[in-house]
Amino acid sequence: MEKANVYLDKLAGLGVEYAPKLVLAIVTLIVGLFVIKAVVRFLGRGMERRSVEPTLRPFLSGLTSALLKIALLVSVAGMVGIQTTSFIAVLGAAGLAVGLALQGSMSNFAGGVLLLIFKPFKVGDVVEAQGFLGSVSEIGILNTVMKTGDNRTIIIPNGPLAGGAMVNFSAEPTRRVDFVFGIGYQDDIQKARETLNAEIVKDKRIFNDPAPMIVVGELADSSVNLTVRVWCKSEDYWGIFFDLQEHVKNAFDSNGISIPFPQRDVHLFNPSVSGS
């Protein structure tokens, strides 16, 4: 009976010592969770006002919530009297191990965050990167999906994509289309220039400002090469590129302007004939 009284006294002492701490810890936990929820909600509204990429919003909100909850739990544990030093050390070691194991994925994740924040391209843009050319169909946290012109699906990890060079063909509303048309040395350059200009004027997709440029670009081995540069909307680039070449070929044929191809004179030497 005496031992029971001793244990009861110790239990009462512990209750008196830890009860206020436990109550305070519970109150702190409840209030902390409420504050974290409010902070995450405020962060979400802020990202929406700043037009942060929709794909990135839930991830950032979830990451912020998880980090704040971990910090809250560590604080509550310290208030109750639990030694948090070793607990934090274990969390740090576990985080390091996971980071090393997922090094490649973390690199892709970081690249995805950078792409979604800085937006070097958006869904629908035509991009050339990592040796591929195609239209961006999806920007994810870990990789980006592209569709090529022949309808192949290309999945590129975001790490190399964010750290490498890329060309965004859709970034600007206008583009310049470059051509080289060769004519014979016996052909009239001015007549060829007028023929080219007439075909350019016919195509209403080509801008008058900046004005089209038609100049002699090179005196080549077999032809006089005329360089033609015109401006258009980005979406009209390939249509003009293919159509104008066909129209110029037909116009040159109609106006008697030749399009030369490489030619070579071959002289045959017969030793027997030469010796006689």
For residues 212 and 217, give the distance between their C-alpha atoms in angstroms, rounded to a whole number: 14
Tell me the pTM.
0.61
**Contact between 83 and 167 (Cβ < 8 Å):** no
Let me know if residue 37 belongs to a domain.
Answer: yes
pLDDT tens by residue, 69-116: 878 887 777 776 666 666 666 666 666 565 555 455 678 888 888 887
Is the pLDDT score of 254 beyond 90?
A: yes
Percentage of residues in the chain with pLDDT exceeding 90? 40
Q: Please name the amino acid found at residue 125.
A: D
Q: Is residue 276 part of a domain?
A: no
Q: Identify whether 261 is part of a domain.
A: no
84 and 146 share one domain:
no
pLDDT at 249 over 90: yes
Does residue 153 lie within any of the structural domains?
yes
Confidence at 136, pLDDT banded by 50, 70, 90: very high
Task: Note the pLDDT tens digit of each residue in 144-161.
Answer: 999 998 999 999 999 889
213 in any annotated domain: yes
242 shares its domain with 226? yes
Angle at 274 between CA 270 and CA 276, to 5 degrees: 125
β-pair partners for 138: 145
- Read off the pLDDT of residues 164-218 as tens digits, 9 standing for 90 and up: 899 999 889 999 999 999 999 999 999 999 999 999 999 999 999 999 999 999 9
Within-domain flag for 44 = yes
- CA torsion through residues 253, 255, 256, 262, sign: negative
Q: Are 257 and 192 in contact (CB under 8 A)?
A: yes
Domain of 73? 2-101
Q: Is residue 232 a part of any domain in this protein?
A: yes
> 205 with 179, same domain?
yes
Residues 136 and 89 reside in one and the same domain: no
Q: Are residues 133 and 182 in the same domain?
A: no
For residues 191 and 232, what is the distance between their CA atoms, to the nearest angstrom? Answer: 25
Statement: residue 8 has pLDDT above 60: no
Do 27 and 71 belong together in one domain? Answer: yes
Interval 15-19 mean pLDDT: 57
